[in-house]
Structure 1
Amino acid sequence: MTRHYGMDWLRIGAFALLIVYHIGMVFVPWNFHVKSLHVEDWVRLPMLASNAWRLTLLFVVSGYASRALLARSSGTGRFFANRCYRLLVPLLFGIAVIIPPQPWVELVTKHAYAGSYWTFWAHDYFRFRKLAGIMLPTWNHLWFVVYLWAYTTALTLGLVVVRGNWLQRAFDRVFGSWAVLVLPVAWLIFVHGWWFQMAAETQELYGDWVAHVTYFPAFLFGFGLARSEPAMAAITRWWKVGAVSALLGYIAIIAVELEWPGDIVAPRWIYPAYGVAHALEQWGAIVALIGIAERHWNRDHRWRRTLTEAVFPFYLIHQTIIVLVMYALLPVGLPGWAEFACLLVATVIGCVLFYRVGRAIAPLRPLIGLRLHLRPTPSVL
């Protein structure tokens, strides 16, 4: 496979957006581990501009990257072993070391937990049952890694069972036309507008069907797209229509949110229409972004290689930094804009330090999702 620099930039941008989105979670009136004193209802509106598609996009680009990794592997077994090593090792490290400050801060700020962090980690975190309604230990934002590993496992089993290129040829034939936009939208309308009617995800893997019927097909689509010139050409033709669809879906969602703001529960009759708008925004934005990546971003830059390597370590650590910094800022009493600025700067600096230290020390590299190189290449960060 020829490396697609545009998809690299899209993956980098998707994870960067995730970091900014999680900073926004501190200020929006949705549930999060710690909250600013400046929670504002209007923050929901810009958050909803990416809420429908940001996670689905991550699974699409992850499927695309998985196809590239498979092409570089000596076989399906080696591919799966590598993915287990690169996903499960940082996942276990994250659950044991990176994640614990998040539930501790949540217990302290929301449930008056009196113990120190070390007391919490040594005596309460590994209880394997709930404390104040919070299941411990937990994977929190690392649920994405769990789901990605599960989907990779299912994909590997499929590769073992299904032989030949007939599925790829079928993918090219179906998605090499306007169907690349229409069929996924139709499926997502069925999921969000009728089958689950905007049901919330649990992020607990077992029983989280609304997530699986959304993200697993997206992962498989990315896997097929990586070797499909007809589908990429169709996306290039239809990406502007996708952008318009996403914009119309977002406008409809905003109209509903403004009509029933805050804690006001919308009537059930609006759910199917909301699901249609959600689906239009969700897949329309993904087609638009992939089309832009194909047309305008498919070029290399000296920062691209480092940023591509750094996004996973950034993802591992960013939410813990956000939660701890917000917890430290609570007694300071800064205005909301200053809190946001502090969170953004601290998160970027903390992520860069985590990445630089982890990549420079060979035994730490696997723990943050990097290859085990005793002499790592220079980094521009």
Structure 2
Amino acid sequence: MARHYGMDWLRVGAFGLLILYHIGMVFVPWNFHVKSSHVEDWTTLPMMATNAWRLPLLFVVSGYASRALLRRSVGVGGFLANRSWRLLVPLVFGIAVIVPPQSWVELVTKYHYATGFPYFWLHDYFRFGMLDGIVLPTWNHLWFVGYLWVYTVVLAGLVALVRTEVLQRLFDRAFAGWGVLVIPMLWALAVHAWWFPMAGETHALVDDTMAHFMYVPDFLFGFALARSEPALAALRRYWPVAAVLGLAGFACVVTIEYRWPPSVPTPRWVYRPYGAAHAVQQWGTIAALIGLADRWLNRDAPWRAMLTEAVFPFYIIHQTIIVVVMFWLLPLGLSGNAEFSILVAATVAGCWAFYLGGRAVPLLRPLIGLRAR
């Protein structure tokens, strides 16, 4: 398999957008670990521009990357061992060290937890139970890493037990031409508009049926796409149509959000139309972005290798930086624009420091998701 630089750039962009989205979570009227005093209903509208497709896209590009990793591995066992090491070690480290400040800030700001962070980390965090309604310990934003490992185990079992070349040929036939737009969009419509209208995700793995119904097919689609020139050619050809569908779905989502903002109860009859618009925006945008990446971004650049390596450490640390910095900003009484600007600057600087510092120390590299030298 030749390396697809366009998918690398898409992965970098998707993770960068996710970090910006989590900064936005401080200002929207949705639940988050810490909230600014400048929460406004209108902030949900720009967030909705990416809400439908940012996470499904991450699972698609992760599936795509898994195909290349499998090709470079010594059998399915070697692939699973490598992925388990690269995912589970940072996950355990993140749960034990990176995530605890988020839980402490949430307890202090929402439930008036009275003791400092050292006491919380040593006495309360590893209680394996509830504290003021918060499960401790927890993985918070690192749920993505846990889900990705579980899906990787499923994929390894599938590759070991099934003749994947037969499935690949079926995929090439089904997703050539218009099938690459129609089939995934029909599945997304069934999930979001029929089976689980307006359902939320729990990120708790065992009771997150709706999320698995979307993310497992997305992950497997990316895996098959990595060896499917007919599907890539179709995405490259039909990306303008996909983009129009994605924008139309987003327009419907914005209309409904504007009519029924978070402060206004939403009638139940709106759930299915909203879910349908969400589904169309979701796959239309993903298909358009892959088509654009394949057509225009499939070329290397000097910063590509470093950015591709850096996105996972950035993902591990970014939310803790956001939550802690926002906690420090709360007593200062700054404007919303000032808070947002400081959060962006601090998060970017902190992520680079975490990545560059961890990369330079051999013992720290596996903890932040990097290959051992």
How does the TM-score come out when normalised to structure 1? 0.97
Match of 2:303 in 1: 303
1:174 aligned partner, one-letter code: A
Q: How far apart are the structure 2 equivalents of 1:191 and 1:301? A: 38
Aligned mates of 2:337, 2:207 — CA distance in 1: 39
CA distance in structure 1 between the partners assigned to 2:207 and 2:159 by the alignment: 25
Task: Supply the distance in 1 between the matched residues of 2:163 and 2:61 (Cα, whole angstroms).
Answer: 24
Deviation of 1:143 (Å): 0.2
**Count of matched residue pairs:** 373
- Aligned partner of residue 330 in structure 1, secondary structure: helix
* Whole-Å separation in 2 of the counterparts to 1:164 and 1:31: 42
What SS does the corresponding residue of 1:364 show, helix, strand or coil? Answer: coil
How far apart are the structure 2 equivalents of 1:4 and 1:372? 24
Rounded Cα–Cα distance in structure 2 between residues aligned with 1:249 and 1:144: 25
Alpha-carbon separation, structure 2, partners of 1:164 and 1:189:
27
Query: 1:177 maps to which residue?
Result: 177
- 1:65 is matched with which residue? 65
State the alpha-carbon separation in 1 of the partners of residues 164 and 267 from structure 2: 49
User: Matched residue of 2:88: which SS?
Assistant: helix
Alignment match, 1:4: 4
Per-residue deviation, residues 85-119 of structure 1 (Å, max 9, x unmatched): 00000000000000000010000000000010001
2:128: which partner in 1?
Answer: 128
- In the aligned structure 1, how far is the partner of 2:127 from the partner of 2:264? 37
How do 1:1-381 residues align onto structure 2 when only pairs under 5 Å count?
1-373=1-373
Give the match's secondary structure for 2:130.
strand
Q: Which runs of 4+ in 1 moved over 6 A?
A: none
- Distance change >3 Å, CA 294–CA 327, structure 1 → 2: same
Q: CA deviation at 1:258?
A: 1.1
Matched AA of 2:346? A
- Contact 2:41 2:263 (C-alpha < 8 Å) held by counterparts: no
Percent identical residues: 65
Distance 2:84 2:328 in 1: 36
Q: What is the RMSD of the two structures over their aligned residues, measured on CA atoms? A: 0.6
Deviation at 1:140, TM superposition (A): 0.1
Could you tell me how far apart the structure 1 residues matched to 2:371 and 2:41 are?
Answer: 43
Letter of the 1:139 counterpart: W
Q: CA deviation at 1:300?
A: 0.3
Unpaired segments ≥5 residues, structure 2: none
Aligned to 1:377: none
In structure 2, C-alpha distance between the alignment counterparts of 1:65 and 1:293, rounded to whole Å: 15
Q: Which residue identity is paired with 1:300?
A: D
Structure 1 counterpart of 2:105, one-letter code: V
Shift in alpha-carbon separation, 1:121–1:232, aligned structure 2, 3 A? same
CA distance in 2, matches of 1:221, 1:164: 13
Give the TM-score, by structure 2 length: 0.99
